[in-house]
Amino acid sequence: MVAASSAVAGAQSATAYPKATFGPQEVGVERLTDGIHMTKEDTTPTRGYTGPTSMAASPDNPRVVVAATADLRTRLCHLLVSTDAGLTWNFSAERPASPDYPNCTNNSSGVAQPQVAWGRDGTLYYASQAYGEGEGGREGVTSIILARTTDLGETWTTTLVSDARAQPDPKPENTGVPGLAVDTSGEQDAIYVGFSRDWSATAPDGHPLEDQEEVVVAASTDGGNSFGEPVNLNAYSSLTMSVAGQPYPLHFQTAFTRPFVAAHDGVVLAVGDGGPPSDDPPPEEVYDGIFGEADPLMVARSTDQGRKWTVSELSTPVYTAAGSQTGMGWTPEGGPDGTFVLAYAATPGDAPKAGRTDIVVRRSTDGGVSWTEPVAINDDDPSDGYTSFYPQLDVAPNGRVDVIWHDNRQQSDFLIEVRSTYSTDGGATWAPNMGVTDQPINFSVGASSTGDVRQPPGVASADSYAAIAWPDTRFADEQTQTQDNFGVVAQFSPLPAQESIWPTIAAVVGGLVLAGIVLLGIQFARKR
C-alpha cells in the first residue's frame, strides 16, 4: 500500500540504489497511442476495476492481447481481450469462473490479483481466488481456481488448485494469486500457481493454526487438469535472521500476497519478502513489523516441477513498505543460456527508515542460482524525493524486456503516472524512462480514494509493441468513485504485413489514406 502524495515523498530519505546504465537500445518506440478505454463496455457508474496487473500477448498471434481484471465492488473477475494489438478491448463472452465459485475478491481495498499466462496451442490460463455465498476473506474459506480457454473466453474449463471447502476445519483462507507461470518445455504444459494462505479467520483462539501463515506453490504437470498439494516454501527454508541479538527463522511473508513466480525450461523461481515466522515473531518492542523493518528478499528454486525447493536470500535487507510487487521473466538475451530478470520496488536497508522506493532490477544468467547486484532503472534524481513503485515486467518473443511502474515524478497530491523502460540486451542496459499515461491518474477518487494505492499497472510484450494498462479514475466523482482500466500501445515496429492492423485502423477511422499518409488524424496517433 502506497500513500501517493509527493509532499510525503519529498520528506523521505534520498537514500537510493546505484543507477542502471541507460542508453539507446536496438529498437526505439516509434509511436505511442492516446489513452484507450479498455472497460468501456461496462457503463455501471459505480464500477470499480482493479489494475489490469496481469497481461499477456499471444506468442502465436501478435494481434491478440489479454488482461486479467476484477470489479472490486461486484467481486467478479473478468478477462479483457483485444484482437487488434491493444487498440480496442472487449470483455470475454464468459467469465473465467466456476458457477459454484463465482467470486474472486472480497473487498474494495485489496488487490484481487488474478493472473493470466499462455501455454501451447493457443491455450490461455487464468488463475484467481474463488469462493461462493457465505465465504470470503472475512469468513475465511477461500479457494484457488485455474480456468483455461482455447477460444479467448468463449468457453472455459476450470480446475480447483486448492479447494478450501474440502479441507477439515478450521478451513484456510487462500489469498489472491500473485504468481502464475507456465513452462512449455515438456510434453505437456507445466503450470505453477503461487499464493498464500492462513487460518486467522477460522481457527479458534489457541488453535495451532491460529497464527500460521504459508506461502505456497501448487503445480500441475498435465496441462491444468489436476494439481498436486500446495508446497509450503517455508518448509524448505533453513535460513535465519537476527533481531536484537536473537536468531529467528527467515520465512517468506504473506503481506500483499506472495509469491511471484517465473518458469523456463524446467527451472521454477518463486520470489517474495522475508521476515520472522508469523507464529513466533520477535517482541514488538524490538521489531516493528515487516513494513517498519528492513528484511531480506527471498528466492525459492525448483528443478523437479515444484516438488522440492532450495531457498536462499535474494538480497541484503531492504525496506518494502511500498509493497514489493515483483515482475519476473526469462529472456534469451544476456547470456548463452538466457537471463532471468526480475524487478521490484525497495528502499535500501541502510536508509534510516522506509521511504522513497526505486525500481530495482536483478539478473541471473545461470538459471536463478546467482544474481547480479541491484541497480535502479528509474532515472529520476533521488534528491527530488519522488517514488517509484508497483513494477510489472514482461518479455517479448524476441527477448525485449519491458518494465512499467507507478511513479509520482513531477506530480502533486494523489496524482500518479505510469512510466516505462525496456532492454534489448538481457537487462544489461536500459532505455531512458518514458511517461506513458495520457493524463495523470487521480487516486484521490476511485477504489483507492484514500490515497492508499493498491492497484498495480500491467504490460504485455510482443515483438512489435508493448501494450500497457493501468487503473484509471478519469470518470469518477465523489458519488460514483468510478474506476476503469485504460491503456496505451507503444509501437516499436509495424506488425508483419499479413497481420498488420495499424494501417487498417487508420483507414477505417480516417476514411482516407493516400500514398501511405493518413490524411485524417486519429486518436491513436500520439507521439512522444
pLDDT given for residue 321 in this prediction: 77
Helix or strand (DSSP H, E) at 158: strand 157-162
| Confidence bin at 111 (pLDDT 50/70/90) | low
355-359, 386-390, 397-401, 445-449: least confident range? 445-449
Span 261-267, average pLDDT: 98
SS3 call for 383:
helix
CA distance readout (Å), 262 to 50, 319, 363: 23, 23, 13
| Mean pLDDT estimate for the chain | 90
Per-residue pLDDT reduced to its tens digit, 14-51:
689 999 999 999 999 999 999 999 999 999 999 999 99
Q: Which own/partner pairs from 286-290 qualify as long-range (CB within 8 Å, at least 24 positions apart)?
A: 286/243, 286/244, 287/243, 287/244, 290/253, 290/255, 290/320
CA distance readout (Å), 148 to 6, 145, 255, 473: 42, 10, 28, 30
pLDDT given for residue 326 in this prediction: 84
Confirm if 484 and 38 have CB atoms less than 8 A apart: yes
426 — alpha (psi -120 to 50), left (phi > 0) or beta? Answer: left
Alpha-carbon gap, residue 378 to 61, rounded angstroms: 31
Sign of CA dihedral 328, 330, 333, 334: positive
pLDDT given for residue 69 in this prediction: 96
> Is residue 101 pLDDT above 80, yes or no?
yes
Alpha-carbon gap, residue 55 to 66, rounded angstroms: 6
Per-residue pLDDT reduced to its tens digit, 237-259:
999 999 999 999 999 998 777 89
| Confidence bin at 401 (pLDDT 50/70/90) | very high
Q: Across-strand partners of 302?
A: 268
Residue in the block written with cell 493470466: 116
Q: What percent of the chain has pLDDT over 90?
A: 80
Residue 260 one-letter amino acid: F
SS3 call for 476:
coil
pLDDT given for residue 110 in this prediction: 52
Q: Which domains does the chain have, with CATH numbers?
A: 2-495 (2.120.10.10), 500-528 (no CATH)
The per-type count for the chain, helices as H runs and strands as E runs, is 2, 40
Span 214-235, average pLDDT: 98
Q: Phi then psi for 469, rounded to 5 degrees?
A: -145, 165
Residue in the block written with cell 522475508: 274
Q: Residue 416: is it exposed, middle or buried by C-beta count within 10 angstroms (0-12/13-18/19+)?
A: buried
Span 456-465, average pLDDT: 97
Of 323, 337, 430, 314, nearest to 379 by C-alpha is 430
Residue in the block written with cell 512449455: 184
Span 87-112, average pLDDT: 86
Q: Phi then psi for 384, rounded to 5 degrees?
A: -75, -20
Span 111-133, average pLDDT: 93
**How many C-beta atoms lie closer than 10 Å to residue 420's C-beta?**
26
Confirm if 369 and 10 have CB atoms less than 8 A apart: no
| Confidence bin at 322 (pLDDT 50/70/90) | confident
pLDDT given for residue 413 in this prediction: 85
Of 194, 353, 174, 357, nearest to 272 by C-alpha is 194
172-176, 281-285, 362-366, 377-381: least confident range? 172-176
Of 454, 512, 520, nearest to 1 by C-alpha is 454
pLDDT given for residue 105 in this prediction: 84
